[in-house]
């Protein structure tokens, strides 16, 4: 069974630009969660989608948004990039909603650098 | 709100036993997870506790005390490949991780 895939793996953008990251969950998984990981703050929850609906949202500004498609693939968008958005963005999938307890399977991440 | 605390770094010797502690405060409780993350890689699931007590899985064990808001991960017979960050988490909230260095 293929694991979680994320594209692109690396991305360099400049301040003010917009970026879209993509995540394909494990086949059959309906929940996709997004996290931002930085050395100082660790892994911080962005949002979770389950069956195309946002189930939970972390404490991030509205510049961060996402969506999930009918095939469970998910995209995350960050608009008006700031230097502080430089981070590793991890996607995780699980069979059911995370809040119902479920082991999450993480993708390799997208390393975003904002210059 | 929810908060998780764990030590930032630990060092242990190959072959030894190490215990990584985690304390948490949550508004509700649906279980506690431990994940392992090697440098440059994604986190991988290690264990899950929802009831008090010890869960053993090979060289790794995880303990939970819900009344104390406390958990620990116990690693036995340490190997060099165990050098990694260990993340304590409740659903959707992760601790900042404990970076374990195993030395010869």
- The CA distance from A1 to the nearest CA of chain B, in Å, is 16
pLDDT of A102 > 90? The answer is: no
Q: Tell me: pLDDT of A62 over 70.
A: yes
Adjacent-strand bridge partners of A10: A111
- Residues of A with Cβ-Cβ distance to B31 under 8 angstroms: 101
Inter-residue contact B89 to B22 (CB < 8 Å): no
The predicted model gives A38-55 an average pLDDT of 93
Region for B7 from its dihedrals, namely left if φ exceeds 0, alpha if ψ lies in -120 to 50, beta otherwise: beta
Report which of residues B29 and A115 the model is more confident about. A115
pLDDT digits (tens, 9 = 90+) for A36-45: 999 888 999 9
Please answer yes or no on whether B92 and A98 come within 8 Å at the CB atom: yes
- What six digits make up the tokens of A29? 């998984």
Q: Which residues of B touch A90 (CB under 8 A)?
A: 42-43
pLDDT digits (tens, 9 = 90+) for B56-93: 999 999 999 999 999 999 999 999 999 999 999 987 88
Output the pLDDT for position A95: 87
A107/chain B closest Cα distance in angstroms: 6
Closest-CA distance, A16 to chain B, in angstroms, reads 27
Q: Which residues of B touch A107 (CB under 8 A)?
A: 42
Share of chain B above pLDDT 90, in %: 86
Q: Which candidate, A5, A109, A6, A24, places its Cα nearest to that of A71?
A: A24
Predicted local confidence at residue A74, as pLDDT: 98
């Amino acid at each position: 069974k293929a694991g979680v895939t994320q594209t692109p793996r690396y991305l360099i953008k400049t301040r003010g630009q917009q970026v879209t990251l993509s995540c394909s969950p494990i086949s059959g998984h309906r929940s996709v969660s997004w996290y931002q990981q930085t050395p100082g703050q660790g892994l911080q929850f962005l949002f979770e989608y389950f069956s195309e609906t946002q189930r939970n949202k972390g404490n991030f500004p509205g510049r961060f948004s996402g969506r999930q498609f009918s095939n469970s693939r998910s995209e995350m968008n960050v608009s008006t990039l700031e230097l502080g958005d430089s981070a590793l963005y991890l996607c995780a999938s699980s069979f059911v909603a995370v809040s119902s307890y479920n082991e999450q399977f993480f993708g390799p991440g997208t390393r975003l650098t904002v210059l | 709100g929810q908060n998780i605390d764990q030590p930032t770094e630990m060092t242990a010797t190959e072959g030894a036993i190490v215990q990584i502690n985690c304390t948490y405060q949550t508004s509700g409780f649906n279980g506690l997870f431990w994940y392992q993350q090697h440098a440059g890689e994604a986190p991988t699931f290690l264990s899950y506790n929802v009831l008090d007590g010890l869960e053993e899985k090979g060289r790794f064990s995880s303990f939970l005390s819900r009344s104390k808001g406390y958990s620990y991960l116990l690693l036995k017979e340490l190997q060099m490949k165990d050098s990694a960050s260990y993340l304590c988490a409740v659903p959707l909230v992760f601790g900042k991780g404990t970076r374990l260095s195993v030395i010869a």
